[in-house]
Amino acid sequence: MITVRGAITIENNTESEIIDATKTLLSEIISKNKIDTEDIVFIMFTATKDIDKAYPAVGARLLGITDASLICAQEMYVVGSLPKCIRVMLAANSNLSKSEIIHCYMENAKILRPDLAKPVYSVAIDGPTASGKSTLAKEVASRLNIAYADTGAMYRAIALYFKNKDIDLNSEEQVSAAVNNVLLTIKYENGNQLVYIDGEDVTDIIRSAEIAELSSQVAAIKEVRDKLTEFQRSLAVKQSIVMDGRDIGTLVLPDSTAKFFITASIDERAKRRCIDYEKKGIYSSFESVRKQIAQRDYQDSTREIAPLLKAEDAYEIDTTEMNFSQVAEKIIGIVNERLEHGKT
């Protein structure tokens, strides 16, 4: 059995923030220590006295932790202690050794364990559609044990919002109003990025070919790019992260620790996209998918606002003749080399 500790702070003493923060912390602990929820024996939660709108244990139940014993207690008050802080002690059956356990301290709670602090760094992965960059970015983030941000999903989410609201993309007034009103939220559960629009989980809905095509048009709108660029940069300030897209290395995170530009032949990319669609029960002809990708390449490369470009200092990797593992290992090797030389 192992015991994992963690803590997280919240900004406001509200039911939603308490529950969301608890879920975020538990998901981080479970993901980083590769724990099955069925193996969790008990979790003890403590909270500072300025947190009283909800029991943190509710977050555990919402994550599907239904068999473990859950205990909630209020911390003893100490003058000068960290405010609005939730602490966790989780016990689970596991074969991890003591040295392999990863304790998780998030948000302002990081100051409680400076010995666990690591330099914040970022990895930028750019490339054309269907080049495999998102799958690679997620795998690289998992192996490096840092966060992953799929920026393409963010643009798709905005595209879905515009479609549902019947926004005229040629109307500056409608676009500006929509961009200011939409609430985009990114959450992580068990290492997976979830995308919410106005509180609704749209992670799966945004993967359709229709939304993919619309997102390219939406991404060419300056107001949208400005909003999402600011949002993406805010994610990278808080934590080490792998981010993929089309302008990460050139615009969003120009000072990344390492930058990569992933390419593949258009036929190879069309083949991969067809395979992805089939796995999701979506069937399109190779010719149709190839045509969509060619059109997307043209739109992304010729748009006036943040076109698809390779950063001058990016490593270009053509994956046409490479397997997934080879590419991931190459990227990780370069990142580790950059970190060893102190480039953060």
Q: Are residues 175 and 316 in the same domain?
A: yes
pLDDT of residue 157: 96
pLDDT of residue 196: 94
Q: Which of 18-32, 133-147, 178-192, 257-271 has the lowest mean pLDDT?
A: 178-192
Helix (H, G, I), strand (E, B) or coil at 297: helix
Closest CA to 158 of 203, 99, 224, 108: 224
Q: Are residues 275 and 149 in the same domain?
A: yes
Q: Are residues 168 and 188 in the same domain?
A: yes
Structural domains in the chain (count): 2
Mean pLDDT highest for which of 85-89, 120-124, 184-188? 85-89
**Which residue among 55, 87, 269, 296 is the active-site one?**
87
User: How many CA atoms within 13 Å lie on the side-chain side of 35?
Assistant: 31
- Domain containing 86 — which CATH number? 3.30.1330.40
Q: Are residues 201 and 100 in the same domain?
A: no
Q: Are residues 141 and 31 in the same domain?
A: no
Q: 220-270: per-residue pLDDT in tens?
A: 899 999 999 999 998 887 788 999 988 999 999 999 999 999 999 999 999
Domain boundary among 73, 99, 116: 116
Q: Yes or no: say if 41 and 1 are a contact pair by the CB < 8 Å rule.
A: yes
Q: Which residue has the higher pLDDT, 67 or 118?
A: 67
pTM over 0.85: no
**Which residue among 113, 233, 303, 338 is the active-site one?**
113
**Which residue among 11, 38, 72, 340 is the active-site one?**
72
Q: 14-45: per-residue pLDDT in tens?
A: 999 999 999 999 999 998 888 999 999 999 99
Q: Is 85 in the active site?
A: no
Compute the mean pLDDT over every residue in the chain, rounded to the nearest whole number. 91
Q: Is 87 in the active site?
A: yes
Q: Is 75 in the active site?
A: yes
What sign for the dihedral angle of Cα 212, 214, 218, 220?
positive
CA 298, distance to chain mean position in Å, is 27
Task: For the beta carbon of residue 77, count every other beta carbon within 10 angstroms.
Answer: 9
CA torsion 191-195-196-201 (nearest 10°) is: -80
Q: Are residues 191 and 324 in the same domain?
A: yes
Q: Yes or no: say if 111 and 82 are a contact pair by the CB < 8 Å rule.
A: yes
Q: Which residues contact 344 (CB under 8 A, 6 or more apart)?
A: 119, 120, 121, 257
Structural domain containing residue 252: 122-340
Q: Are residues 186 and 279 in the same domain?
A: yes
Q: Are residues 135 and 187 in the same domain?
A: yes
